[in-house]
Amino acid sequence: MAPDKFKGSASATDVAAAVSRGIRRARPDAVITQVPVADGGDGTVDAALAAGFDPVPLTVSGPTGEQVSATYARSACTAVLELAGTCGLSRLPGGVASPLAASSRGLGEVIVAALDAGCRDLVIGIGGSASTDGGAGMLSALGAVLRGPSGDVLADGGAALADVARLDLSGLHPALAEASLVVACDVDNPLTGPVGAAEVYGPQKGCDPAQVGLLDAALSRWADVVAVTTGADHRDVAGAGAAGGVGFAAIAVLGASLRPGIDLVLDLVGFDQALAGCELVVTGEGSLDAQSLHGKAPVGVADRACAAGVPVVAVAGRSTLTPAELARVGILGSFALLDIEPDVATCLAEPLPLLERLGHEIAVQQLP
Give the integer Cα–Cα distance in Å for 319 and 8: 17
300 and 231 belong to one structural domain? no
pLDDT-derived band at 186, boundaries 50, 70, 90:
confident
Which of 261, 293, 308 marks a domain boundary? Answer: 261
> Structural domain of residue 360, as residue ranges?
2-36+275-366
| 3-class DSSP state of 339 | helix
| 3-class DSSP state of 272 | helix
108 and 248 belong to one structural domain? yes
Bridge partner list, 60: 68
> Which one-letter DSSP state was computed for residue 192?
S
By the 8 A CB rule, do 14 and 34 touch? no
**E strand or H helix that includes residue 72:** strand 67-75
CATH number of the domain encompassing residue 13: 3.40.50.10350
pLDDT-derived band at 41, boundaries 50, 70, 90:
confident
151 and 243 belong to one structural domain? yes
117 and 205 belong to one structural domain? yes
pLDDT score at 283: 98
φ and ψ of 254, to 5 deg: -95, -5
**pLDDT surpasses 90 at 334:** yes
**pLDDT surpasses 80 at 274:** yes
By the 8 A CB rule, do 2 and 281 touch? yes
91 and 138 belong to one structural domain? yes
Which of 229, 261, 293 marks a domain boundary? Answer: 261
102 and 245 belong to one structural domain? yes
361 and 330 belong to one structural domain? yes
pLDDT score at 44: 94
Which of 205, 226, 261 marks a domain boundary? Answer: 261
Q: Which amino acid is at 303?
A: D
By the 8 A CB rule, do 214 and 163 touch? no
116 and 219 belong to one structural domain? yes
Give the integer Cα–Cα distance in Å for 123 and 134: 19
Give the integer Cα–Cα distance in Å for 190 and 213: 15
**pLDDT surpasses 90 at 220:** yes
Total domains present in the chain: 2
Determine, yes or no, domain membership for 71: yes
pLDDT score at 294: 78
